[in-house]
Amino acid sequence: MNQLGAPPVNKIITSGKIVWSLIIILIGFILLKIIDILLNKIGRKSAQYRILTKRIIPIVKIIGWAVVVYIIVQGVIRPPLATVIAFFTSVGVAIGFAAQDLLKNIFGGLMILFDRPFQIGDKIEAGEEYGEVVKIGLRSTRIVTADDSVVTIPNAEMMNHSISNSNNGETNCQVVAEFYLPLDIDTQKVRQIAVESAMVSKYIYLNKPVTVLFFNEMKDKRSIIKMRLKAYVSDLQNEFIFKSDMTEITLRELVKEKVIREDYL
């Protein structure tokens, strides 16, 4: 018995309509793939373009597939209103009973999209994970960590974390290198060496300041000085290379200036 006077499914979906639907899906897939390749090619020209294209590509794909679905439904299948109402009623009931966690994640995804605590291309810290946001979906968010691992975090879980955003949409971000030094160092001399070491790195972003901070700490049951060298990398893709570069240059100069002994390292 048909609900709301809807005709049988075999009257609505014929073999001819299935073939045309598959053709439209194939054309849509090819066109979106071409657009994806072109946008990625543009993104490789500079760091600014790369972040912009990473944000545009998911939107283009959503709009593209929405257009494909609309063309298939309205242009090929053309179901009567009664069938559409019956379908969405059934789907709504099924989702209500079987997909509560999914709905929480979708709600979290919508909150992320509207509140925008981070965007694709940002470097964020969520819980114990730190990396670059490569995808924000309705169900989950994906980040790539320093060791190139892809971590998928459900959006409902993301909403329960405190999110730390390193660059907030900019191509540069702050990088911190830490050093453990003896108590008897000349902090003024060490500060100067550290700043100059950061400034000579080819990866530094010179429009933001270099900062050096000193702290007293206990390490291996002895009192030491911990130095934190903060500087900005010009392209966040080079974040960890810049950190390594700063560390290597600073340690080399500290030994060269006899601030620390080589065997202290």
Provide the CATH number for the domain around residue 114: 2.30.30.60
Residues 178, 193 contacting (CB under 8 angstroms): no
Range of the domain at 244: 173-264
- Summarize pLDDT for 42-87 with one digit per residue, the tens: 877 776 677 677 778 877 888 898 899 889 888 887 777 776 677 6
Instruction: Give burial (CB, 10 Å; 0-12/13-18/19+) of 258.
Output: exposed
Count of domains forming the chain: 3
- Summarize pLDDT for 187-232 with one digit per residue, the tens: 999 999 999 999 999 999 999 999 999 999 888 788 899 999 999 9
Q: What is the DSSP letter of 6?
A: P
Distance between CA atoms of residues 205 and 174, nearest Å: 9
Q: Which residue has the higher pLDDT, 123 or 91?
A: 123
Provide the CATH number for the domain around residue 198: 3.30.70.100
Q: Is residue 105 part of a domain?
A: no
Residue found under tokens 């000349």: 186
Q: What is the DSSP letter of 236?
A: G
- Summarize pLDDT for 160-193 with one digit per residue, the tens: 778 888 888 888 999 999 999 998 899 999 999 9
In the beta sheet, which residues pair with residue 143?
133, 151
Which has the closest alpha carbon to 172: 237, 241, 248, 218? 237
Does 1 have pLDDT greater than 50? no
